[in-house]
Amino acid sequence: MIITEIWILFVLIFFQKEVNSDSLQTQILEARQLFPFRSYKDVQLFHYTIPMQVTFASFQYKANGSFHCPSKTVAVYLQYGSYPVMSLQNSTYPDFFAVHRLFLHDITLKSDFVPIMINITNPLPGNWYAAAFLIENTDRIAQKGLFTPCLSWLSSSLKFNAAEDVISLLQDTEIAQTISSVQLYRIPVTLPPTLRNMGVATTQQRGERMLEVLG
């Protein structure tokens, strides 16, 4: 049986409602030219890295195009852990495709310089990938050289808040604290691969607050 170790990051609120323990960080990716989606070679891929202890992440996308051309529609698919899997023609996926995955987000935007955000609370740490391409509803064929080409570009950035002063709670290890404000804790938990839902509960016994992981 494969055992998976994950980290749980949560907050215990006792007296204060606000805390300034997060640091804002930004990743800026190079703008890419977009192409109409006819095969996977036409897809532009963006790669992001989210570190541990991130409490909030905002993926921003902004498309622009040639000034002499009308705005075009851009599709963006964001996936955690691997490249996104897409099917615009509603075709059937092969049996070996892993399509039932978590954390697949998709948006559409225009190439009009208006930014669109995908906001995620407590994102999983590691690699995130976005696939972007143009959606065109015309099959018009124009002779090369007779028309000025219409080009579209997509820029992307990632902003996230990384929690600071996080205390690790290890198994069979006792710590004593006097808590007067918001405090973040991290707990390593070993879970079987079949577990799909879990939670963390706090109880109070003999004046002491206890933590319990529920599967």
Q: What CATH number does the domain containing 37 carry?
A: 2.60.120.20
Give the domain extent around 44: 23-90+98-138+145-162
pLDDT at residue 1 in the model: 42
pLDDT at 67: 87
Under the banding of pLDDT at 50, 70 and 90, the label for residue 83 is confident
Number of structural domains (the chain) is 1
Question: What are the pLDDT digits (tens) for 88-137?
Answer: 666 676 776 666 666 789 999 999 999 999 999 989 899 999 999 999 86
In this structure, the strands spanning 152-163 and 44-50 are unpaired
Q: In this predicted model, what pLDDT tens digit does every residue of 169-198 receive, in sequence order?
A: 666 677 777 767 776 776 666 666 666 566
H or E, element range at 56: strand 54-65
Single pTM value for the model = 0.68
